[in-house]
Amino acid sequence: MQKIEIIKADITTLKVDAIVNAANSSLMGGGGVDGAIHRAAGPQLLEECRTLNGAKTGEAKITKGYNLPAKFIIHAVGPVWYGGHKNEEELLKNCYLNSLKLAIENKIKTIAFPSISTGAYRFPFDRAAKIAYKTVLDFLDLHPDIEKVFLVVFSDSDLEQFSRVIQK
């Protein structure tokens, strides 16, 4: 069975142990997938987020899932794309790695990632997809405890682009 699956879905509907949020460093909500997660989880999420004191780019922090089907939310702060000369690729990789480390620490077996930084933060989709896929693949090699990782996209064109990237 393939441990990594690329799917098109609204991440807030997935019944997994944890979903990852593409947050900003305030961790206090926003637009895009962040807004959708806060709406679906309910106002208690913001209350818990207030206690976290934000996070730096590349870092991740965990909360409960509240009204979501997912038990936990891992809030990762992706880099804004400035053209590729501000360490954006490494910072995006760190988002995936730090989220996966939190998953291990919390005995999470199934986790779903959105395509971090590829919306409002303008990271080129194909580069981001390559980093996401490779980072998860390498991590799973070393950490067989994680059973399933969904890489979630939100449009047919992103799904097609992702499939092309991983065939290379």
Q: Residue 154, interface with ligand AR6 (CB under 6 A)? A: yes
- Judge whether 126 counts as a catalytic residue: no
Q: Can you tell me the distance from the alpha carbon of 40 to that of 123, in angstroms, rounded to the nearest whole number?
A: 25
Q: Which stretch, 4-12, 46-54, 63-71, 85-93, contacts ligand AR6 (CB under 6 A)?
A: 4-12
Among 25, 2, 9, which residue's Cα sits nearest to residue 114? 9
**Which amino acid type is present at position 125?**
F
For ligand AR6, the closer of residues 78 and 100 by Cβ is 78
Q: Can you tell me the distance from the alpha carbon of 52 to that of 2, in angstroms, rounded to the nearest whole number?
A: 34
Q: Which string of x and - marks every residue 110-139 that binds ligand AR6 (by CB under 6 A)? A: ----xxxxxxxx------------------
Q: Residue 22, interface with ligand AR6 (CB under 6 A)? A: yes
For ligand AR6, the closer of residues 30 and 54 by Cβ is 30
For ligand AR6, the closer of residues 76 and 103 by Cβ is 76
CB 84, min distance to ligand AR6, A: 15
Distance of CA 59 to the CA centre of its chain: 11
> Which tokens is 139 given?
């991590």
Tell me the three state secondary structure of residue 40: helix
- The active-site residue out of 34, 141, 156, 158 is 34
- What is the footprint of ligand AR6 within residues 33-52 (CB under 6 A)? 33-34, 36
Kindly give, in sequence order, each residue whose CB lies less than 8 Å from that of residue 48, ignoring residues fewer than 6 positions away: 63, 64
CB 141, min distance to ligand AR6, A: 26
CA distances from 96 to 46, 50, 115 (A): 22, 23, 10
- Residues of this chain that interact with ligand AR6 (CB under 6 A) are 10-12, 22-24, 30-34, 36, 78, 114-121, 152, 154
- Residue numbers annotated as active site: 34
